[in-house]
Amino acid sequence: MTKIGHIELGDCPLIMAPMEDVTDMPFRSICKQFGAGLLVTEFISSEALIREAEKSSLKMRFGPEERPIGIQIFGESVENMRKAALIAESAQPDFIDLNFGCPVKKVVMKGGGAALLNDLPKMVRMTEAVVNAVKLPVTAKTRLGWDDANRNILEIAERLQDAGIRAITIHGRTRAQLYGGTADWTLIGKVKENPRMQIPVFGNGDITSAVIAKEMKDRYGVDGLMIGRAAVGNPWIFRECKAYIERGELLPPPSLSERIDILRLHLERSIEYKGEFYTLLEMRKFYSGYFKGVADFKKHRMRLMTADSMEELIGIIEEIKISAPPVP
């Protein structure tokens, strides 16, 4: 049984990776329906939370059906992270997650996310400040290190555990790799094997199918698997991974009709959450996933991307449903 503090997650939970402008409440709720055992919000700037920025407050919203769920925060200032953690705690999530892994330049240049990989003492002070401030369990997500010359995740994991975190998620890339190359799970496995580690170790990176998910679990013995980009427009990946890990059953991909039903549900929830204008903009990143493998999808893609009303968008989706041959 994998546990984060008092939170029981079963054996090898599947975790939806937090992704900016992707893992909002509508999409998280759908991933939950398909078997995601643990959810995390989009990352939220500690400075923006303290300023009470409207977008940051919106990111903290979640429904009861999403539990267990954590609010992820990032920032450069130890004191602001402490204050932000208290604000996040007031939203009553199940845990607080610290982002020490985001490689995006605009975050790193301000000293947040993966920038802390270059200052382990500060990362530890920040963690201790948050752990001591809140009553909820605190977790952390990070990377193997800054670059190939500094793959110090073994030390990072031990130091963060000593600082009080209750679980760690490790992305199998360095900051220098960004999202390129191949995730290296070798060091994730070594962290898990470390006899000093007493907290759950979750692995993340390049889990794109049920077969790969089970292989990573079996080979490296991690306590859970975090799935990120492969779930975008493909929330049923959680159902597929769960079936193969638990029962050895390889599920067939959903039919085009089922995919469109899921997409329409996603659209409806998104409109309710953020309105039609932002839904039309932000849903664009999901279409390639929902329609992956559909013959001649390219001729429809630009029309979906440029639709300027929900009525037009639904019309295009129904046209694809009628005209496209079955997904192989």
Residues assigned a catalytic role: 102
| 124, 153, 156, 198 from 161: Cα distances, Å | 9, 12, 8, 8
Pair 48, 85: CB distance under 8 Å: no
User: What is the Cα–Cα distance from 14 to 169, expressed in whole angstroms?
Assistant: 12
User: What is the Cα–Cα distance from 111 to 78, expressed in whole angstroms?
Assistant: 11
Residue 125 structure tokens? 């002070």
User: What is the Cα–Cα distance from 73 to 26, expressed in whole angstroms?
Assistant: 20
Residue 300 structure tokens? 């429809």
User: What is the Cα–Cα distance from 87 to 109, expressed in whole angstroms?
Assistant: 25
Write out the E strands in the chain: 3-4, 7-8, 14-16, 39-40, 44-45, 69-74, 95-100, 138-143, 168-171, 201-204, 224-227
Which residues are paired to 201 by β-bridges?
168
SS3 of 116-179: HHHCHHHHHHHHHHHHHHCCCCEEEEEECCCCHHHCCHHHHHHHHHHHCCCCEEEECCCCCCCC
Residue 163 structure tokens? 């600082």
